[in-house]
């Protein structure tokens, strides 16, 4: 009987497997079909350019004539090019100043918005609006607002007796000026942090208040740990963005804002990369620069992730 | 927030953004040698039947000078359908189009870009086009032709010309007990004295005495001191020549005597009405400067009653000099309609076409109650013909401006075509800016620039040859 039963169930099981496999294949085909626009886009616009730039980094290529393989010459040349170290230094300093300020200002604004119940919608919009400003316009705006003679910033400083610096020409003040201008666009970070703040359970604050915790203690002991994952996201995404800074500084100091005037203090790595690739037509060298930047960003991001393990709390992560 | 997902997204985005910046297309074929006449070869047939389309990149029909000439050219190449890709020539867009094998039929470029394009085979020689259309190249100004000649072939048809003249505020000069002769460049001590006499600083700059227009006019100051930035063959940089360094020291010193470049630039930039009635001369906030001749038109239109004085810019010997720059027509390799492109370029720059355009400008200015202050081209015969349309304005200062403009146009110099123009220019401009920003001394900056520029020239010439 047992044998009979087993024999009689086997075809049924096989049939079920076939149906399941068939359904699974159909689902896979449907999924691939729906995903195909993205896959095609990814392969054409991301994977291929990334792979091709790796190849170009080992070539002498001027955009027009066929690339010629030159081994590691482009990478070797990076070490002899003084503008590489200069532009890297500028980029590191800019990032080091900008990111902490960006996070602090974003968090402060988000905390304020979190308490502005009635007007929150208006302020959310108001803080986000500058994000809609084209970066080129921000670059031009920088030259006007930070004009050392009668820009709005120095005029305002003048009201309180401070003689403002020449933000747009003094090499010592160019990067701080760019950082301050960058704070114009903290809107998206504010919105992200505000969303995180709204997710912090109210009962934690209620318990803290019962225990006599003041605002600062609640913020430092509850709010910051509870949104540390989001803070880390804002920190890391903006760090990567800062390493790739281009448009505002290029417009203000190398492009349409100043057709002949330049300032070495604003020569960020990606600006130099752009000059090499699209002004001097050294596309192979520029590709090598891009890959070096990629490696640098990966290393720094990796370090940030490692360090974050000590400070970041992910709810539901068991930590 | 789920950390791994966020991290993965961040890393993927970083990788994509960092790397896609440098993969902008591929080359369609191997090694188009500089000098290969791909579009026009010796098969150029001026009587060929014309058809198809012709897209022009970098040219805008924004005024009567452009529209009148474009209409004349369109009539010549009828029934070819002309389309404009307006705005300044976008090199990235242009090269991408050439690399993709779909270039515009003709481009309108700065003459200093021609050497770089020619050396890379991006544009074709126009010798057959010029010969086929029976164009007498002798009518073009020598410096303009030199700027578009590479490897013995002409790669561009010169168009507009731009020169510099000295412009000054007569009231400020008079108040300082000086005249236009003191700021025309012939006496550097007089310029320094005029700058100090006219500058006003009341706890903040309120009048710039003299603006030496660095970094852009270093070639002019160097030439005034007897040397070019680049050798005549375009192969040797001369950026740390003692005469160049001396010229730079002088021009920077003018700023230093007025509170430094930062202060001057900040004050200069604070005037946002450069093209309007609130310009620096009309508001008595600038004593003198040398500047391009087209600004005469702006001043005449926006502030006709301003107290102005004009002269040419002169070297230390008192001879008029001007640094010529301008535009040119060039035909990309693989242009789909090279004959129509050639006819358009030669028609747009023909003497009679320039005359018709100038007459249209005269009519338009007359209608507005404004005088015609001239029009400079790279074509000497056209300039002579157009100059005949310039009538005496009857206002001494504006007549002096027109006279200075035409005298400057007859005494120009230019840097020769070379295959590394962008790098060469960036090297010396960055060096001047480092000096202006107080980061380096002139000698150190120009030594560094010399090294960079020469390395770029050597590499580019090696590739080109």
Residue B26: strand, helix, or coil: coil
Q: Residue A50 is nearest to which of B11, B20, B263, comparing CB atoms?
A: B20
Q: Across-strand partners of B341? A: none
Mutate to test the interface with A, among B6, B21, B90, B122 (most CBs of A within 10 A): B21
DSSP state of A221: I
Distance from CA of B71 to the nearest CA of A (A): 31
Q: Which residue of A has its CA nearest to B31?
A: A65
* Cα-based distances in Å from A135 to A245, A246, A251, B268: 11, 9, 8, 24
Query: Angle at the Cα of A261 (from A256 to A266), degrees rounded to 5?
Result: 85
Question: Is B110 touching A (CB cutoff 8 A)?
Answer: no
**Residue ranges of B 26-55 with Cβ closer than 8 A to chain A:** 26-27, 29-32
Specify the CATH number for B7-161+326-357; select among 3.40.50.720, 3.40.50.11540, 3.40.190.10, 2.60.40.10: 3.40.190.10
**HSE toward the beta carbon, residue B186, CA cutoff 13 A:** 12
Q: Across-strand partners of B84? A: B56
Cross-chain Cβ contact A237/B10 below 8 Å: yes
Q: Indicate the Cα dihedral angle B86, B91, B97, B99, nearest 10°.
A: 170
Map out the domains of chain B as residue ranges.
Answer: 7-161+326-357, 164-322+418-464
Mutate to test the interface with B, among A63, A228, A230, A268 (most CBs of B within 10 A): A63
Kindly state the helix (H) or strand (E) to which residue B465 belongs, with its residue range. Answer: none
Cα distance between residue B57 and residue B412, in whole Å: 28
* Cα-based distances in Å from A128 to A106, A122, A131, A188, A206: 11, 10, 6, 6, 31
Cα distance between residue A300 and residue B345, in whole Å: 54
pLDDT at A315 over 90: no
Distance from CA of A178 to the nearest CA of B (A): 16
Q: Across-strand partners of B160? A: B377
Distance from CA of B5 to the nearest CA of A (A): 11
Instruction: Please state which CATH number belongs to domain B164-322+418-464.
Output: 3.40.190.10
Q: What per-residue confidence (pLDDT) applies to A255? A: 77
> Sign of the CA dihedral A40, A41, A42, A43?
positive
Q: Is the ipTM of this complex over 0.85?
A: no
Cα distance between residue B360 and residue A80, in whole Å: 56
Q: What is the mean pLDDT of residues B128-147?
A: 92
Distance from CA of B289 to the nearest CA of A (A): 17
Strand (E) positions, B173-218? 200-201, 205-211
Cα distance between residue B268 and residue B216, in whole Å: 15
Cα distance between residue A288 and residue A294, in whole Å: 10
Q: Which residue of B has its CA nearest to A151?
A: B270
pLDDT in tens, B393-429: 788 899 999 999 999 999 999 999 999 999 999 999 9
Which of B142, B105, B146 lies closest to B123, judged by CA? Answer: B105
Distance from CA of A60 to the nearest CA of B (A): 10
Distance from CA of A285 to the nearest CA of B (A): 9
Q: Residue A290 is nearest to which of B10, B18, B204, comparing CB atoms?
A: B18
Return mean pLDDT, chain B: 88
Cα distance between residue A187 and residue A129, in whole Å: 7
Residue B325: strand, helix, or coil: strand
Q: Where are the alpha helices (DSSP H) in B58-99?
A: 64-76, 91-99
Tell me the helices (H) and strands (E) count for chain B, helix number first. Answer: 18, 14
Cα distance between residue B156 and residue B404, in whole Å: 28
pLDDT in tens, B187-219: 999 999 999 999 998 878 899 999 999 999 999
In chain B, residues with a C-beta closer than 8 Å to the C-beta of A281 are 95, 116, 120, 422
pLDDT in tens, A202-219: 999 999 999 999 999 999
Query: Angle at the Cα of B379 (from B374 to B381), degrees rounded to 5?
Result: 80
Distance from CA of B96 to the nearest CA of A (A): 7
Burial of B270 (0-12, 13-18, 19+ CB in 10 A): middle
Cross-chain Cβ contact A264/B16 below 8 Å: no
Which of A197, A201, A241 lies closest to A108, judged by CA? Answer: A197
Extract the tokens encoding A308.
């974050």
Cα distance between residue A258 and residue B424, in whole Å: 18
In chain B, residues with a C-beta closer than 8 Å to the C-beta of A61 are 27
Report the Cα B389 to chain-centroid distance in Å.
Answer: 25
Q: Among A21-25, B38-42, B52-56, which stretch is predicted with the lowest mean pLDDT?
A: B38-42
**Residue ranges of B 194-223 with Cβ closer than 8 A to chain A:** 204-205, 215-216
Question: Is B96 touching A (CB cutoff 8 A)?
Answer: yes
**Residue ranges of B 53-82 with Cβ closer than 8 A to chain A:** none
Task: Confirm whether B7-161+326-357 and B164-322+418-464 share one CATH topology.
Answer: yes
Cross-chain Cβ contact A277/B2 below 8 Å: no
Q: Across-strand partners of B149? A: B154
pTM for this predicted structure = 0.84
In chain A, residues with a C-beta closer than 8 Å to the C-beta of B463 are 62
Which of A265, A220, A268, A222 lies closest to A243, judged by CA? Answer: A268
Cross-chain Cβ contact B437/A265 below 8 Å: yes
Q: Among B7-21, B127-141, B346-360, which stretch is predicted with the lowest mean pLDDT?
A: B7-21
pLDDT in tens, A235-270: 999 999 999 999 889 988 887 656 677 788 999 999
Q: What is the mean pLDDT of residues A89-95?
A: 96
Query: Looking at chain B, how many residues does it have?
Result: 465
Cα distance between residue B457 and residue B416, in whole Å: 12
Domains of chain A: 11-56 (no CATH), 74-311 (1.10.3720.10)
Q: What per-residue confidence (pLDDT) applies to A17? A: 84
Cα distance between residue B125 and residue B233, in whole Å: 19
Q: Which residue of B has its CA nearest to A282?
A: B22
Q: Residue A244 is nearest to which of B18, B120, B423, comparing CB atoms?
A: B18
pLDDT at A148 over 50: yes
pLDDT in tens, B257-274: 999 998 898 888 888 889
């Amino acid at each position: 009987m047992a044998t009979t039963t087993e024999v009689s169930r086997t075809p049924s099981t096989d049939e079920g497997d076939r149906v399941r496999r068939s359904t699974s294949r159909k689902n896979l085909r449907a999924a691939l079909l729906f995903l195909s626009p993205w896959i095609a886009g990814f392969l054409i616009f991301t994977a291929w350019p990334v792979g091709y730039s790796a190849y170009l980094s080992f070539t002498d290529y001027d955009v027009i004539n066929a690339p010629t393989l030159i081994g590691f010459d482009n990478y070797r040349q990076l070490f002899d090019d003084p503008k590489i170290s200069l532009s890297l230094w500028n980029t590191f300093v800019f990032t080091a100043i900008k990111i902490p300020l960006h996070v602090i200002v974003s968090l402060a604004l988000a905390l304020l918005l979190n308490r502005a119940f009635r007007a929150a919608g208006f302020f959310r919009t108001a803080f986000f609006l500058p994000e809609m400003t084209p970066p080129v316009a921000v670059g031009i705006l920088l030259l006007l607002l930070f004009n050392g003679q009668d820009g709005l910033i120095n005029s305002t400083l003048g009201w309180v007796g401070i003689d403002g610096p020449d933000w747009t020409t003094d090499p010592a003040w160019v990067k701080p000026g760019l950082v301050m201008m960058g704070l114009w666009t903290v809107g998206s970070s504010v919105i992200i942090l505000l969303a995180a703040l709204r997710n912090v359970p109210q009962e934690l604050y209620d318990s803290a208040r019962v225990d006599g915790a003041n605002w600062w203690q609640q913020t430092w002991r509850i709010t910051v740990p509870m949104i540390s994952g989001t803070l880390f996201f804002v920190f890391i995404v903006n760090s990567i963005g800062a390493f790739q800074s281009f448009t505002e500084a290029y417009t203000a100091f190398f492009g349409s804002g100043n057709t002949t005037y330049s300032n070495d203090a604003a020569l960020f790595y990606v600006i130099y990369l752009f000059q090499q690739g699209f002004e001097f037509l050294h596309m192979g060298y520029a590709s090598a620069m891009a890959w070096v930047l990629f490696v640098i960003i990966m290393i720094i991001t990796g370090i940030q992730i490692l360090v974050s393990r000590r400070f970041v709390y992910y709810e539901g992560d068991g930590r | 927030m789920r950390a791994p997902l966020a991290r993965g997204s961040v890393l993927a985005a970083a990788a994509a953004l960092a790397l896609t910046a440098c993969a902008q297309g591929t080359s369609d074929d191997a090694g188009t040698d500089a000098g290969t006449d791909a579009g026009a070869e010796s098969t150029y047939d001026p009587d060929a039947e014309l058809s198809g389309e012709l897209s022009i990149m970098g040219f805008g029909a924004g005024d009567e000078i452009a529209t009148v000439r474009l209409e004349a050219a369109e009539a010549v190449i009828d029934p070819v359908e002309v389309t404009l890709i307006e705005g300044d020539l976008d090199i990235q867009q242009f090269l991408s189009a050439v690399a993709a094998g779909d270039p515009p039929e003709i481009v309108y470029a700065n003459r200093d870009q021609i050497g770089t394009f020619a050396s890379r085979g991006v544009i074709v020689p126009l010798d057959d086009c010029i010969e086929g259309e029976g164009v007498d190249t002798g009518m073009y100004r020598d410096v303009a032709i030199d700027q578009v000649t590479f490897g013995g072939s002409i790669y561009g048809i010169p168009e507009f010309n731009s020169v510099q003249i000295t412009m000054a505020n007569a009231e400020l000069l008079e108040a300082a007990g000086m005249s236009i002769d003191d700021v025309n460049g012939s006496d550097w001590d007089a310029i320094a004295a005029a700058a100090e006499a006219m500058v006003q600083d009341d706890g903040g700059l309120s009048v710039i005495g003299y603006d030496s227009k660095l970094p852009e006019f270093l070639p002019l100051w160097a030439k005034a001191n007897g040397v070019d930035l680049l050798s005549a063959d375009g192969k040797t940089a001369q950026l740390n020549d003692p005469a160049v360094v001396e010229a730079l020291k002088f021009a920077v010193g003018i700023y230093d005597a007025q509170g430094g470049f930062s202060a001057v630039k900040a004050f200069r930039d604070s005037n946002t009405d450069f093209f309007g009635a609130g310009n620096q001369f009309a508001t008595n906030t600038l004593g003198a400067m040398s500047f391009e001749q087209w600004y005469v038109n702006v001043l005449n239109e926006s502030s006709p009653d301003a107290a102005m004085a004009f002269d040419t810019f002169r070297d230390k010997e008192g001879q008029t000099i001007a640094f010529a720059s301008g535009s040119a027509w060039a035909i990309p390799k693989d242009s789909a309609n090279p004959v129509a492109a050639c006819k358009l370029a030669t028609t747009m720059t023909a003497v009679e076409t320039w005359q018709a355009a100038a007459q249209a400008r005269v009519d338009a200015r007359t209608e507005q109650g404004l005088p015609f202050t001239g029009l400079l081209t790279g074509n000497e015969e056209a300039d002579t013909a157009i100059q005949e349309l310039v009538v005496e304005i009857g206002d001494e200062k504006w007549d002096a401006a027109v006279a200075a403009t035409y005298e400057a146009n007859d005494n120009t110099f230019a840097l020769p075509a070379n295959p590394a123009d962008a790098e060469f220019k960036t090297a010396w401009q960055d060096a001047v800016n480092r000096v202006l920003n107080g980061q380096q001394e002139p000698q150190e900056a120009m030594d560094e620039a010399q090294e960079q520029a020469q390395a770029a020239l050597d590499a580019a010439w090696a590739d080109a040859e």
